[in-house]
Structures are given as structure tokens and as C-alpha cells.
Chains A and B, each alone.
Chain A
Amino acid sequence: MLLFSLVLIFAAAALAPWLLRFGAVRASTFLTFPPLVLTGYFLTLTDRVGAGAVVESHPWVPALGVNLTFYLDGLSLLFVLLVSGVGTLVFLYAGHYMREEPQLGRFFFFLTFFMGSMLGLVLAGNLITLFVFWELTSISSYFLIGYRHGEEESRAAALQALLVTGLGGLALLAGFLLLGQVAGSLEMSAVLGSGEVVRDHPLYLPILLLVLAGAFTKSAQFPFHFWLPSAMAAPTPVSAYLHSVTMVKAGIYLLARFSPVLGGTPPWQWSLILAGAATMLLGVVLAIGQNDLKRLLAYSTINSLGILVFLLGIDTEKAVHAALVFLLVHALYKGALFLVAGIVDHQTGTRDIRQLRGLGRQLPLITVATALAALSMAGFPPLFGFIGKETIYHVVLDAPSAAPLLTLLTVLANVLLVAVAALFVLKPFFGRPAMAVDPHPLPAAMTLGPVLLAAGGLVIGLLPWLIDERLLTPAASAVLATPTQVELALWHGINLNLLLSLLTFVLGAGAYLGWLRWGQMAARWRPLAGWGPATWYKWGLKGLTGTAAAQTRILQHGYLSLYLLAIFVATCGFAGLALWRAGGVPLALQLGDLQFFEAVIALLILASAVVAIRSDSRLGAIVAMGVIGYGIALIYIEFGAPDLAMTQFIIETITVILFILVISRLPAYAELSSRGSRLRDALVAVAGGGLMTVLVLAALATGSESRLADFFAETTYPEAHGRDIVNVILVDFRAMDTLGEITVLGLAGAGVAALLRLRPTSKRGENRHQSQEQEEMRQSLILATATRYLMPMLLLLSLFLFLRGHYLPGGGFIGGLVAAATFSLHAFAYGVKRTRQILRLRPRTYIGLGLLLALGSGLVSLVTGHPFLTGRWEALQFGAMGELQLGTPLAFDAGVFLVVIGATLAILLPLAEGD
């Protein structure tokens, strides 16, 4: 049922944008019903709650201990009624107040959404659920404060509120998680019962501080108070609802809720009293000199929030009573006054207290309501505010320690309330009328809110038994975690409290007069309001963005060579760290049987490496690179890898050709880097090279035999029907590698072609013309004749190499390369155009076909229920000539053959075209 009440509100929120098509007034009237119904429903629950908490649980993420648990006790109920009751009035009001504004669908969506979130917050019976709703109130507040998003001020205020409350929210989350960890459960009922465990735990202090950070930011306690006045950029209904009656009270709710768990310790008391007192005083000081009705109210709200925290910090039974009473007092009068401020603004177009005068005649009913609310604020009998103030004085006078100081502070705060109350009611409503007032009569829906709230203050003041037993007693019992009795009365006889009250009035009157007189002078202090935490926030933000910018300049500087340097340094650093930590690794340092020929190859490679680095001609360096490649091929031959050597020779040759085709378009060598950076790079290079040498020697020292080689030796001929083990690995044992490999090669080919063809601005016309000339020049008769005879032979050779691959060094790859080289030769002899004619299909088509062939050969075995790429073999009988094993791996190799031709030509032909 509790869940259903939330669903109701969120459903209303979802409907809001659609409802607004029928006009703001109708929509808002409709939206008034859900909170109204809820108010009624929850009022019926008072008796049940008085008997004990109502708990309702629905699983959400039970594996994390997170449930949609709702926990309704006296405290929750008090807040629920505030949220839904005041919500009803605010919705009624807002429909008229806002009716000429744009984007109302979104406005009412967020307002309703906020109401749902706030209800969820005070109903939540699971720490994480509570946090979820907590954050949702911050988010909806962000969008509501930023409602006038065209204005820079609104955007900044929205962001400020979001960041400050967001910061606290994150602390709160950490606090809750720790609390759940210590209490062993995230469920409220379990947490509330484990107060002693928590308070004795070493994590108590961190938990306390984190939770307080959440509460203080939300409830605008010093030093986080500054977001609240800025939040007045929101439309007035929002200020009334979120920023005075409900959302800013969430922090108070949190403190009250967890006081049985976290309270009762000196750190709790001291932090609450200090923060509360500071906030109280700050509210007083900053309110001075404010001329904007809303800002005036905002500072007095800060003051009141301070009082509430302060009272909770005093932490006695009576203090809790007083806090709850004052909470209600404040909600009634402050809600009314905010709505009045809105009405004044609405009717006159200004909220400046210096210009407002004599509205009493035009708005008689509102004047009465304002007067009642103001009297309650000032604490005049017989209003509820008087009871509230009396209870507070009673508490501070009886405070366990530092009673005189606490009393002094409280009186000071109340003096301000008197002065603000007087200012609020006397200045705008009395005096000679001098304002142009909107002639339209005020709609009843807008009057209803302030009138009802103000009247509430009077009714409760006269008849306090209406609420003390039914509403406040269960709430106080929940906060104190023991049964307690709240008894309210208007008249306690003549005692110290009363004297203090009288003193407050006198001082308040004095303050009001002083305000009128010196207020303008005091307005000069107003920059003071900007001092302090608000400035820290600004600096903090500036510092953060400055740091961010500086960091980005340092890290993301755009120099590729430095990026690479960082990577190599990191590699060597991390690996060095690991080696150092291990205290070294065993290395194979024996020189072994060195043969002269091999040593010469090694020296050749080393010498070429030096040339590659030192050469000041590009061609020289490229040739050196080629020599290194050939040297490595020789090593492959020497150590039993003929397939490898063949491939290496061909690839190295093509690579060198490729380089030569391309470098003419690349910048020539020039002295670019300084000596210092060359030295630095050399050091890193030596470290990197050294690391690799060490790793190779360490691998050799391990000396473990390959676990796989024997298997290949045993199965290559009998099962895979091949004699060249390397080739069989490529097309059968590890054919998947090869499938990936030819995909890479094919993509590189297709990619080069696409890269050269697709350009943002087409200059291809010119190039094409130029390349035709080049083609004509290239055609030499001798080459053409030679090619004509060579081509068939070379193609046959390639086919031969490809076919024998399974038995002797060769295979699809080497065969394909030879074929591609043949076509390249043709291109040189006859021009690329004619080569393309001979090929008939585009190179990328060859690539695609090859891939499809390889894929298809692997799929054959799926038909028989074997894994992908399982070889299927058939023996073909050739009578006397013996038999020939044909199998899918050969088809696979044919796919490789095609891809290699396609890819190599796709790379070489466009480059040969000079395009």
C-alpha cells in the first residue's frame, strides 16, 4: 500500500506533460488530487502508527541487501503529511501562478517527480532505497531551480545546488554502506536496532562524519548553506515547497531518523550544536540588508534549519520535542510566507521590500494570512509559533551544559525572526498604497494555500491537543527510540521562558526599527554574504577546472613521439619493478656453440641496424632494413625453418618495394630533434632492448620443452594427411589463426584501396591524367616482351608452390605472393589498366571470395556434426599413378591463395598507378 502511494505520485508525474495540454490550471487541479488523497490516507494511519512502525517490503536487489522497504513510524508520518499536505496546496497554487510560463509540462513533471521522491525518502526503510530517493530529490531540484534555463544565474544556481548536495550525497552513500557493513544489514529496522554496536565500532566516527556531511549539505548548514539563497532563482512555488518546507528538511529528517543509532555521543552533540549554532547566527547576519522578499525568507530558513540541528544536538528528550514542534511551526508559517511572496511578486511584479507598500487594501485576505503567519514566526501568543518558542527556551535553559551561552544564541536567533516577521508584514502591506497592482482578482486557489497554512498556525496554537498526542508523540518516540509524551500548552504560567519571550519581542521590535533606519547602510555589508564558503566554492570550481586544463596540457599534448615514449617508459618501468621485486630471474648466459657463418649473419644484422639508425638518406635506411630482414631469413634457414625463410624473403622484398613506392611522397630526412631528446630516446631504447634480451634469456633458462610439438609430429601425416608440419599447422591445427590472419591482410588491402580512393575533396581527375602519362612512359618494349613469356611460367610456379604446400615448403601464402608479384610485373610492363583488365575482378572481390572460400571449407564439417574447420578428406584413385588425398584444408589454403593475391594487388596496384 505504501508502495502504491509512491506509484500513484510517479504515475501522476509521468502523466503531467500530457495533462498540461488541457491548460495549466486544469492540469494542476488534477495533480492536486494524488497528494490530497495521500494526505487523507495517511491521516487515517495515525492510530496504527502510534502503536508501532508499519513495515512493508518488496524485493528489489535482494542479493545486494537492497529492498524497496517502507518504514512508516511517527517520524515518517509527520514528514509524509508535511510533504503531501503542503504539496496539495502548492500544486493548487502553482497552476495559477505559473499559467503563463512556457514548458509547463516539464515543470509539473519535475515538481510531481520531486514529491514522489521526497515521499520515498521519508518512507524508505532501507538505507540504499533512502539514498536513491535522496538523490532523486537533488536531481529534481536541479531541474526545478534551472527552470528559467535561459538565464545564466538560474543555471549556475541549479548547478551549485546539485554539486553541493551531490557531494554530500556521495558522502552519505559511503556512510550508509559502512553503516550497513557494521550493522550487518541495510534494512532500517535492523540498523535502528544496532545503535550500540555501531557506536562502539572503530568505524563510528567516519560513519558519523559521512552521514553528517549528507545531512548538512542538504539542510544548508554552515559551511554548505550558500546554495540555498541562490536556489531562490527557482519559481516561487518551488522555493516554498522544496527549499523551505520539504527538501531542505531532508537533512533534519536524516539526523532525527538516525539519532537512535548515531546520537548520544559527544562527537554527535558537538558537531550538531556547533554546526547548528553557526548556521543560526549566519542566517541572522546574512539576512540583514536583504531587500528581496524571497532571499530574506531564504536566510531566515537557514536560521531555522540551524535551530533545528542545534536542538537535535542538545540531544535531550525535551530538545527532540522542541525540534519536532518547531519543524511543524516553521513549515506552516514559512510555507505561507513564501506563497505570499509569490503572490506579491505576481500582483506587483517586484519583490523589492523598498518599493512595496500598502498592499493591504488590495489584498485584504492575504494581509490577514500574512499577519498570522508572521505572528507565528515572531512567536506571539496565541499562535503555534509561541508554543514552539517557549519549548525551545525551555530546552536551552535546561541544557546539560553551557546553558547561558546556548540561551543567548537562541534569543538572538529569535530576535531576527521577530524582525523579519515585522518587516515582512509591515512594509509591503501597510502604509499608503503606492503600487500599480494587477487589477485581476486573485484566484481563490492561490489564496487558499497561504490562508490555510497561516490559519493552521492559529488553530494549533489554540488547540494544541489536536496534534501533540496523535502526531508529535509518535514522532518523538521514534526519534528517541523510547516512548515519550509530547504535551503542548499555550500557558505555562509566568516563568523564565515567558520573560525571555518578552525580551525577544522588545529586542525584535528594536531590531525592526533599526533595520528600517540602518538597513540601507547594512545593505553595504551584503558583499559579506558572498564571502566565505560561497567564494570557496567559486575558487574550488575555478581551481578544479584550472587543474584539469593544466593536466590536459601536460598529458594530452599531442606529440606522438612523447606518447610513445611514455608507453615505453611505462613498459620498462613496470617490468623493471617486477624484476627488482623478484630479485632477478635465472638467465641462460652460456655462449654455446657459435658457428662462424651464424656470427657473421648476426654481425650483419647489427651493422645494418646501425645504418638504419644513422643513415641520413631514406633509401639507405630502407635498404638497411631490407638487409636486416634478409639476415633474419638466413637465420630461419640455418635453424630449420624453410617456410619461414621463403616467406620472409618475399615479404621483405615486397616491403622494400612498397617503401620505395611510397617514400617519394613522404618528407625527406631533416635534423628535427635536439641532442637532449635524442639522448633521452636512446636511453629508453637501450632499456627496452635490454629488457627484451633479458626476457629471451630468461625464457631460454626455463628450458621447458614445447608441450605441443610431439603431438604435431605424431598426427601430421596419419590424421592431417600432410608432410610439411608448419603448413599443416597453418591450414589445419591452427587454421583459425590463419583465417584471422588472411582477414587482416585482406582488410589491409581493401583498406589501402579505400583510403586512396575516398577523399574529402576530389583531386582525382588531375591525378588520373598524370598517372596515364606515367603509365605510357613506363611501357618498355623489352620488359613487355619478357613479361609476356615470363608470366605463364611464373603463374605456373605459383600454382605449383601453392599445391605442394601441404607436403613441402610452400603453400597458399607463398604461392599467392608469387602470383601477386607476377601481376605486379605485368602492371609495370603494360600499365595498371591492362593488369586490371586481365584480373577482370577488383582486388577486393578476390579478397572477399578468398575469405568466403576459406569460410566455406571450414563449414563443411559442420554438416557432419564436427567442429568448425575439421578436415574432411577424400582419396582420389589415379590407377597406377597412386592416390591423391583431397581435403577441405586444401580448399582452405586456396582461400588463402586468393586473399593474398587480392590483398597484395589491392596495395600495390593503386600505388603503382601513382594515385
Chain B
Amino acid sequence: MEFLLALVIGALFGSGIYLILRRNPVKLVIGLGLLSNAVNLLIFVAAGLTRGMPPLIHEPAVRPLEGIADPLPQALILTAIVISFGMLAFTLVLFRRTFETVGKADLDELREETDQ
């Protein structure tokens, strides 16, 4: 299964990269969203997968069963999800403000005032 998921991760990265290289702002943000998801999945898979054993300590035990999933990547991903949600939301609104102000539909046209 890891092998298949590694392919999925690659495909998500590829799609994200392709979309982020477009000139339409919506595609760009969707690409960003895909990349965030891809990275999270990558952390999850690279640490190794364990089926159906959530890292919980059931009452009244004081320690979990053997063979639970590694809890740390999960915690990292939780943190990363929230962070990328915040970033994505901000980026989305920034895009909206920018294109409202500029009134162009093409990212390539955002260059008069910053470069050159």
C-alpha cells in the first residue's frame, strides 16, 4: 500500500506543481491546496503506515496496545494542516484583493509596478 500511496503523493505533487505554474489565480490557489495536502500525506506515509490502530489508551489501561500507529506524524500533520489552512485563507483573500485592485485576469500582467 505504501508503494501505491507514494505514487499518489507523487501525482498530487505533480498536479500541484503544474497548477501553481498556471497564470490563472484560481488554479494557482488550487495548486497550493493540492501541494499542502500532498505534503501532509507525505509526512504520514514516509513515517510508515499502521492499519486501524489509533494511538489511544483505552480505559482502564495505562499504556496503549502494542503496534499502534506512530502518533508523532499525526500531531505534526495536525499542526501543518492548520498552518496551511491559515496560509491558504490568507492567500485566497490576498488574491481577491489584488485582482479587485488590478482588474486583470492574468498573473502575467502583474508586473508593471513591481519589476522592470
The chain A residues found within 8 Å of chain B, CB to CB, are: 553, 556-561, 564-565, 568, 588-595, 598-599, 602, 605-606, 609-610, 612-613, 618, 621-622, 625, 628-629, 632, 635-636, 638-644, 647-648, 651, 654-655, 658-659, 662-663, 665-670, 672-673, 681-682, 684-686, 688-693, 695-697, 699-700, 703, 706, 708-709, 712-714, 716-718, 722-726, 729-730, 733-734, 737-738, 741-742, 744-745, 747-749, 751-752, 755-756, 808-809, 813, 903, 907, 911
Contacts and interface: CB of A to CB of B under 8 A. Distances in A.
Given A640-B53, A692-B42, A714-B63, 6 more contacts: A558-B110, A558-B116, A655-B85, A689-B15, A716-B63, A723-B56
B46 A699 contact: yes
A693 B53 CA distance: 25
Contacts, number: 320
B9 A696 contact: yes
A709 B71 contact: yes
Interface string B90-104: 101111110110001
19 contacts: A561-B108, A589-B3, A602-B5, A612-B15, A618-B26, A639-B50, A640-B50, A641-B54, A648-B81, A659-B92, A673-B22, A689-B14, A699-B47, A706-B47, A724-B55, A725-B64, A726-B78, A730-B79, A809-B56
Contact of A666 (B13, B19, B99, B111): B99
B56 A724 contact: yes
B24 A670 contact: yes
A636 B68 contact: no
B34 A751 contact: no
- The 6 A-B pairs of least Cβ separation, nearest first, read A689-B14, A558-B111, A558-B115, A748-B86, A667-B105, A693-B10
Interface residues of B, number: 93
B51 A638 contact: yes
A702 to B, nearest CB: 10
Interface of B: 1-15, 17-27, 29-30, 33-34, 37-38, 40-42, 44-59, 61-64, 68-72, 74-79, 81-83, 85-90, 92-97, 99-100, 104-108, 110-111, 114-116
A612 B62 contact: no
Contacts of B5: 602, 635, 696
Contact of B74 (A644, A659, A718): A644
Contacts of A602: 4-5, 7-8
B46 A725 contact: no
A662 B92 contact: yes
A697 B3 contact: yes
Task: Tell me the dominant secondary structure on chain B's binding face.
Answer: helix
A769 to B, nearest CB: 17
Nearest to B50: A640
Contacts of B56: 723-725, 808-809
B87 A744 contact: yes
Contacts of A644: 44, 74, 77-78, 81
A568 B42 CA distance: 18
A642 B69 CA distance: 11
B47 to A, nearest CB: 7
A712 B73 CA distance: 12
Contact of B106 (A553, A610, A672, A697): A672
A786 B90 CA distance: 31
Contact of B30 (A561, A622, A709, A712): A622
Contact of B75 (A589, A689, A734, A752): A734
B71 A725 contact: yes
